[in-house]
Amino acid sequence: MTQFKHTPEEARTKWVEALRSGEYQQGKHQLRDGDGFCCLGVACDLFAKLEGIGEWDNGHFKIQHEREFGVLLTPVRTWLGLQSNTGDINPTKCLTSLNDRGYSFAELADVIEEKPGDLIA
């Protein structure tokens, strides 16, 4: 099992802080599009900065030979302690859909802090 510098609880706290910081411009439908990030893209960016693993490649987040455009790679999901790569809350709602439906980063941070349904592993 991979050892990370931060526990899942610490990682989620840093993620919530980043979402509320105003440092990230919000985007939709993909992890990153130029300067715009979805909420999961912010998590990927933090993972690269804080754990020193991964990089951005044309809007895709890449770890070694794996790359993803719209959902979390498994190491990032594990780091955050999430059940799924889309941030599933229940069978019909996930963080990616809330982001794309217009929830602000502050509202998404509130959802993450509440640890609803099936979000946390």
Interval 62-72: pLDDT, tens: 999 999 999 99
Mean of per-residue pLDDT scores for the chain: 94
Q: Please tell me the total count of domains within the chain.
A: 1
Domain membership flag for residue 2: no
Domain membership flag for residue 114: yes
Percentage of the chain lying above the pLDDT 90 cut: 84
Its pTM stands at 0.95
Residue 38 has pLDDT above 80, yes or no: yes
From residue 36, alpha-carbon distances to 16, 64, 66, 85, 88 in Å are 17, 23, 22, 19, 22
Domain membership flag for residue 3: no
Domain membership flag for residue 76: yes
Q: Looking at residue 117, what is its pLDDT? A: 75
Domain membership flag for residue 1: no
Average of pLDDT values for 8-32? Answer: 97
CA–CA dist 112, 110 (Å, integer) = 5
**Domain limits for position 15:** 8-119
Domain membership flag for residue 43: yes
